[in-house]
Amino acid sequence: MDTPLPPAPPDDPLTTFFWEAARRHELHIQRCQSCGTYIHMPRPICRNCQSFDLAGEQVSGRATLYSWTQTYKPFHPYFVERVPYVIATVTLVEQPGLQFMCNLIGIDQANVDAEARMGMDLEVTFQDLGDGYVVPQFKPVGVVL
């Protein structure tokens, strides 16, 4: 395959934990070490208690589906051969309103209305895009890819 991968994460000390964990097939989310609030996307300060003491922590990888959209039009060369695909926002079970964006995989694209149900239970899985670029994804609980 000679199409380029999606742009790689920048060299950013704030988010390195996330991508390193993904390569180990673990989902880590930034958490305030002072008040316990999870924060996504990562920030240098906790918006609940203004602490700067923040670190990535492993989460359960369980979530519910909040919304989805099935994209037909590619906006980058990598996705030209991959449309349609489903972009989803999911709510991680660790904290109310803790939203995470991903693809919903492990569903039949031709039957998306029936298979992508708002509120359904999901679990994390990991997808290797190539060159060690591993991204956390979500799929219906129990689906084997």
Partner 1 sequence: MSVQRQGRKVAIVGVGYSDVGRNTGLSERHHAAQAAVRALEDAGLQAKDIDGASTWGGDAVDFGWMIGFDDLRWSLNVGVAPAFITPAYHAAQAVAMGHADTVMAFRIMMQQPPSAALASGAAMLGEPSMVDAQFRWPYGNFSPVQWAGLLMNRYMHETGATEEHFARFAEVQRSYAQRNPDALLRDPLSAEDYLAKPYVTKPLRVLDCDYPCDSGSAVIFTTEERARDLRQPMVLVEASALSAIRDMNFELLPDMVRTSPKHCGDLLWSRTDLRPENVSTAHLYDGFSIITLQWLEGLGLCEPGGAAQFVMDGETRLGGKVPTNTDGGAINVGRRHGANFCIEAVRQLRGQCGDRQVAGADVSVWANAVGMFSGAMLLTKG
Contacting residues toward partner 1, per CB under 8 A: 4, 6-10, 12, 14-15, 40-41, 66-80, 82, 84-85, 87-89, 91, 96-103, 112, 118, 129, 133, 135
Question: Which one, of 4, 1, 38, 9, lies nearest residue 136 by Cα?
Answer: 9
Q: How many other CB atoms sit within 10 Å of the CB of residue 75?
A: 9
Taking contact as CB under 5 A, which single stretch among the options 9-17, 35-43, 84-92, 106-114 is the one that binds Zn ion? 35-43
> Do the beta carbons of residue 83 and residue 71 sit within 8 Å?
yes
Interaction partner, residue 64 (Zn ion, partner 1, none; CB < 5-8 Å by kind): none
Cβ atoms < 10 Å from Cβ of 145: 9
Under the binding rule (CB under 5 A), the answer on residue 122 touching Zn ion is no
Alpha-carbon span 77 to 69, nearest angstrom: 19
Q: Tell the smallest beta-carbon distance from residue 100 to partner 1 (Å).
A: 8
Can residue 46 be called a binding residue for Zn ion (CB under 5 A)?
A: yes
Question: Which of Zn ion, partner 1, none does residue 30 bind (CB under 5 to 8 Å by kind)?
Answer: none
**Residues near Zn ion (CB under 5 A), total:** 8
SS3 18: helix
Amino acid at 136: P
Give the residues lining the site for Zn ion (CB under 5 A).
Answer: 32, 34-35, 37, 46, 48-49, 51
